[in-house]
Structure 1
Amino acid sequence: MDYKDYYQVLGVEKTATKDQIKKAYRKLARQHHPDVNPGNEEAERKFKEANEAQEVLSDDEKRRKYDQLGADWQRYQQTGGARGGQSQGGGFDWSQYAQGGGAGGGEDPFGGADFSDFFSSMFGGVGGQGGGRPRTGQDYQAELELSLEDAYQGGPRTLTVNGKNLRLTIQPGAEDGQVIRLRDQGGPGRSGGPAGSLYITLRIRPDARYSRTGHDLTMDVPIDMYTTLLGGEKTVETLSGAVKITIKPETPNGTRLRLRGKGFPVYRQPGQFGDLYLRLSLTLPQHLTDEEKTLFRQLAALRQ
């Protein structure tokens, strides 16, 4: 039975806080989740290792016991890995650490289906093996991709996690990287404990028309030379519908116009919106005719 370095698995120091452990676990869980890596046995192995490491290091009692064992593990190996009682070779008493997986007779007490032999021998496996106090089930991680319009409008969405279809409602104004928690949709509890939670990270695809800064949006609006010089009106499509804007005569190229309340909804604050900024971009006529070139030369001469 090999020793498991749970700190190394998560890539954290032995002095890591619970928040640092949780952050490292979530990163690895997203990277190696079976839904992201279908059929990849190596990713599945790393996903299980991360789950196991988080199970131990996020629990004060398990972590204390694991840290205590770490100092004695070398003696355990030197004694040949005696499983029960006190070894004659080095005086290492494994029984003070081992829970016993509930096996009896000639069965291997180090067995375990979901966790490693090392974990099962120390903590009695999962699903109530070896008794113990009720424990909350494992938290799961998932991602949900949305378009900018989806995030603007909100509404119901269906997400499949571990073969289970889950329905959730996205509130208008959701942000990229925002995490939504669904209680009791994680792993099953142990020894009668509650199920874990499902943490869904929202990923909003970039939009070719708009750039977003907080609740505000910016978009480029092409304006022809004649409207720029003489003024006029132009219809602009926004996320909330068409808006007609007025262009003043001789408007400089790059001018920014502000449309109040036409930006992104403020999350969980109904009726509140950011602003939409229109950046006017001059477009020049192409493929001029001989007559048009003559007229432009006349205009240029008048300006000299």
Structure 2
Amino acid sequence: MDYIDYYKILGISKDASPDDIKKAYRKLARKHHPDLNPDDKEAVKLFQQINEAHEVLSDPEKRKKYDQYGADWRHAEQFEQARRQQSSGRQEAPFGGRESYSYSSGEEGDFSDFFSSMFGSARGSSGGRSAARFKGQDYRAAVQMKLSEAYQTHQQTFTVNGKNIRITVPAGIEDGQEIRIAGHGAPGANGGPNGDLYITFTIVNDTAFARKGNDLYAHLALDLYKAVLGGEEMIDTITGKVKLTIAPGTQNETTVRLKGKGFPVYKKEGNFGDLYITYRVQLPKHLSEKEIALFKELAKEAENKS
């Protein structure tokens, strides 16, 4: 596997703090996002490396392994096991095999060469040696969608390492959600399985609604007269307008629920969240003399009742 200097990719030092890593990642991800660099294969490749570098360096355990073992950090546990058993002069076959073989320690040199000697072969059924199989590296990609697009199941095509991949994105996918596409990562070593592709979705809200899980939230400005007397209002939902009945004496900040008018439930066709409408009662401005007189009359009536 080719060595990638994750610190160099993000433009940070090896003693960078978690905040430094996050800031560098966000800045570079915005700059090199494929949507901003159409038809630029190098930008796509760099964007994948930026995501890969962030995935490793933002995880304390992965970062520790990467700092110690470089390109071979994914196999750190096997390496540590080999070191512990090295003093006995015997090494168990990797991955739980029954056979064992001798190993004489010498110059370690490059970690990749060391792994090749320690784990690159195991006895085959014919008594010879065959290369051990390793799963390929996982790829990371980011996709940006509008909230109105996430409302419906649709197909999306994007390019990874020069190959077009077409996937079906189920309705209801959430901001920050990650999905796995098996076998679309880097090729495996020595006949091992391909890595996987992980896609992280960023959902941009292009609607007038706030989304919390599968529910949607909105406000409705309601004039004082309709709040007092009741009536009807045509309101927007994410799929169109509906008529809403306002009860007489509706108070400010009253919230009503419209069942099933929210967001689709991910991978549960026909299931939807709810839409919550909160009333914001608006007091009248610039009253005429007649209106002022009427309000004064109402105030006197209220005093008499109390």
Q: TM-score, normalised by structure 1?
A: 0.63
Identity of aligned residues (%): 36
Selected match of 1:62 from 76, 79, 102: 79
Q: State the Cα distance separating 1:293 from its structure 2 match.
A: 2.0
What is the SS of the residue equivalent to 1:227? helix
Q: Check if 1:205 corresponds to 2:200.
A: no
The structure 1 segments of at least 4 consecutive aligned residues displaced by more than 4 Å after TM superposition are 30-40, 42-55, 66-69, 128-131
1:183 aligns with 2:182: yes
Q: Check whether the contact 1:209–1:220 (CA below 8 A) recurs between aligned residues.
A: no
1:223–1:283 contact (8 Å) kept in structure 2: yes
Contact 2:223–2:283 (CA under 8 A) maintained in structure 1:
yes
Gap regions ≥5 residues in structure 2: 1-5, 7-21, 35-42, 58-62, 87-103, 122-128, 301-306
RMSD of aligned alpha carbons: 3.9
**Alignment correspondent of 2:106:** 93
Distance (whole Å) between structure 2 residues aligned to residue 194 and residue 255 of structure 1: 57
- Aligned AA for 1:120? S
Look up the match of 1:300.
295
Q: CA deviation at 1:261?
A: 0.9
Cα offset, 1:53, TM superposition? 4.5
Structure 1 equivalent of residue 40 of structure 2: none
Give 5+ residue unaligned stretches, structure 1: 1-5, 7-26, 70-85, 87-91, 99-117
Name the CA shift for 1:200/1:44 in 2 (closer, same or farther; >3 Å).
Answer: closer
Aligned to 2:240: 241
Per the alignment, residue 120 of structure 1 pairs with: 112
Shift of 1:60: 3.7
Q: Does 1:274 align with 2:273?
A: yes
Q: Which structure: greater helix fraction?
A: 2
Cα distance in 1, alignment partners of residues 79 and 188 from structure 2: 16
SS of the equivalent of 1:228 reads: helix
Q: CA–CA distance in 1 between the matches of 2:33 and 2:116?
A: 30
Change (3 A) 1:57 1:151: same
Change (3 A) 1:45 1:196: closer
For 1:131 and 1:56, the matched residues in 2 are separated by: 23
Q: How many residues align?
A: 230
Structure 1 residue 56: deviation in Å?
A: 3.1
**Per-residue CA distance 1:113-142 (angstroms, 9 max, x = gap):** xxxxx33332349xx899731211100111
The TM-score normalised by the length of structure 2 is 0.62
Question: Structure 2: how far apart are the matches of 1:207 and 1:119?
Answer: 49
Q: 1:265 to 1:188 in 2, by over 3 A?
A: same
SS of equivalent residue, structure 1 residue 194? coil
In the TM superposition, what whole-angstrom CA distance separates every residue of 1:141-198 from its partner, at most 9, and x where no partner exists? 1111122222221211122333433211111111222211111111111111121100
The letter for the 2-side match of 1:253 is N
